[in-house]
Amino acid sequence: MNNKSNEIWKNEDKYDNWELRKHRFVDEMRPVLFQYMGITPDSYVLDCGCGTGVLARYIARGLGSGRVLGFDISRYLVDYGNARIADENLSDVCKLVVADGFELPFDDNTFDAVTNYTYMGVLSDPVAGLKEMIRVCKKGGTVSSITPVRGVEWKGEYPLDFAERLHELYDRQEEIYRKYFFIPKKCISKAMNGIP
Ligand SMILES: C[S@@+](CC[C@H](N)C(=O)[O-])C[C@H]1O[C@@H](n2cnc3c(N)ncnc32)[C@H](O)[C@@H]1O
């Protein structure tokens, strides 16, 4: 197995940049995302490559008796994220731990839903990472992945009926980034492909 990407990520400590991503997850999207991710209010959820846990906290705010656990290989991002979880009074519902996605320290068939936001695309061996995600998901549970469409290099037509609307929304998001975060237009594509 090729786990070369671990060397890049285990010392990642730019938690301020990753934290900006919380603006991408709005409350109105939660019902649709929960449906896609197979999450119900009582689910036990795993957020893979959680960074500072922006997705894990977003999920936590929509759970009832359920729980969400996030893991990341960078202890800096995990420590920062757990501090934010405490600030936001989510510690009973949400926790982040340091773990390697190529060798997860969880039993088979543990989680109802296993998801991630822009994690699989950074792995040097995404198939090995996906196999671990499937192993720890309960039989009949849901393994899902979320990635921004425009940041992904796609040869040919987008295979989505709603691609035009998606691009319109993406342009509006860029406007908002420019207005509030003062990122020059020429830097935005680069920023959206990497950090944040
Ligand atoms: C593009 S970032 C996304 C972070 C977070 N999901 C977010 O959207 O803010 C990818 C994350 O995957 C983590 N990562 C990379 N390889 C990993 C591995 N083998 N095991 C666990 N986490 C890993 C990185 O440390 C990084 O936080």
Place of tokens 């999450």: 39
> For 132, how many CA atoms within 13 A lie in the half-sphere containing its CB?
21
Q: Can you read off the two tokens belonging to residue 161?
A: 């009926």
Render pLDDT for 108-150 as a digit per residue (tens, 0 to 9): 999 999 999 999 989 999 999 999 999 999 999 999 998 766 5
In the chain the domains, ranked by start, together with CATH numbers, are 5-143 (3.40.50.150), 151-196 (no CATH)
Cβ 1 vs Cβ 128: under 8 Å? yes
1, 7, 9, 57, best to mutate for ligand 1 pocket (most atoms within 8 Å of CB) = 9
DSSP string, 115-128: EEBS-GGG-SSHHH
Cα 62 from Cα 42, distance rounded (Å):
10
Confidence of residue 177 (pLDDT cuts 50, 70, 90): low
Residue 124 in contact with ligand 1 by CB distance below 6 A: no
In this prediction the pTM is 0.83
Share of the chain above pLDDT 90, in %: 66
Residue 15 in contact with ligand 1 by CB distance below 6 A: no
First to last CA, the chain: 28
